[in-house]
Amino acid sequence: MLEIKDLYVHFGVINAIKGISLKVNDGNIVTLIGANGAGKTTTLRTASGLKKPASGQILLDDEDITHTSAQYRVQRGISHAPEGRRVFPTMTVLENLELGAFLRKDKQGIKADLKRVYELFPRLHERRRQSAGTLSGGEQQMLAIGRALMSRPRILFLDEPSMGLAPLLVQEIFRIIRDINSTGTTILLIEQNASMALQIADYAYVMETGSIVISGSGAELMQSEDIKKAYLGG
């Protein structure tokens, strides 16, 4: 279980996150939705160790990991497919995937996971020798997710995986997220596409300007009038 307690994050004088708390239970899909600039990305970056918080706690299975390195968090089972995909453009698809397994030593396990990623994303297999920068946006997103899976995470952070993708591809990505979750990987999902996210989420948090304003099960939030108005287009 991942738990964030009373977290504050600043960029200089800007308070991007103002005391949020949230929980991600094992095996769940939890989504964090909210408008642009609400602080969703910053929350994930802080949880994965890229950004230091001003105060508050991050707990992974009751272990306080607030002041640990990103490297340690990867070792402990956190993996993060960041906003904007951030694949290594001049490296091949295969090299990108191998980097996802950077901290692992179990050759057999890596091989098995590579096979699994190729099964999830056959396109990546076709293009494994191609450099990542030449892939389409959708393929890059698949690579970013596949790369994140290569560390065999217990909890996977996905930051707007559907951003900029054609509707059909968005469907496909959501199907795959469910698929990954069904094999036991916990998922913390950030989405602009609130209705899709709420449909697959066990639990959801809504952020506004650095705070969590509403939370509840995906089904509950989909019924909420406020949410409908603000995020689901009526």
Ligand X SMILES: Nc1ncnc2c1ncn2[C@@H]1O[C@H](COP(=O)(O)OP(=O)(O)O)[C@@H](O)[C@H]1O
Closest to 214 measured CA to CA, from 233, 230, 192: 230
The listed partner (Mg ion, ligand X, another protein, none) that binds 33, CB under 5 to 8 Å by sort, is none
Alpha carbon distance 162, 144 (integer Å) = 12
Residue 166: CB atoms within 10 Å: 12
Closest CB to ligand X among residues 121, 205: 205
By CB under 8 A, residue 91 contacts another protein: yes
- Is residue 172 within the footprint of another protein (CB under 8 A)? no
> In this chain, which stretch among 39-47, 74-82, 90-98, 221-229 interacts with ligand X, using CB under 6 A?
39-47
* From 7, 28, 30, 41, residue interacting with ligand X (rule: CB under 6 A): 41
Asked if residue 43 binds Mg ion (CB under 5 A), the reply is no
Does 103 contact another protein by CB under 8 A? yes
Residues 166, 56: Cα–Cα separation, whole Å:
38
Q: Does 13 bind ligand X (CB under 6 A)?
A: no
- Residues 225 and 208: their CA atoms lie apart, in Å, by 16
Give the phi and the psi of residue 86 in degrees, each rounded to 5. 50, 45
Residue with tokens 């408008």: 35
**Among the candidate windows 35-43, 87-95, 149-157, 195-203, which touches ligand X by CB under 6 A?**
35-43
Among 26, 64, 67, 102, binds another protein (CB under 8 A): 102
Q: Which two three-digit tokens encode residue 14?
A: 């800007």
Rg from Cα positions in the chain: 17
Residue 100 near another protein by CB under 8 A: yes
Q: Within its chain, how far is the Cα of 197 from the centroid?
A: 12
Q: Return residues touching another protein (CB under 8 A).
A: 48-50, 69-71, 74-75, 79-80, 82, 86-91, 95, 98-100, 102-103, 147-148, 151
Q: Return residues touching Mg ion (CB under 5 A).
A: 41, 83
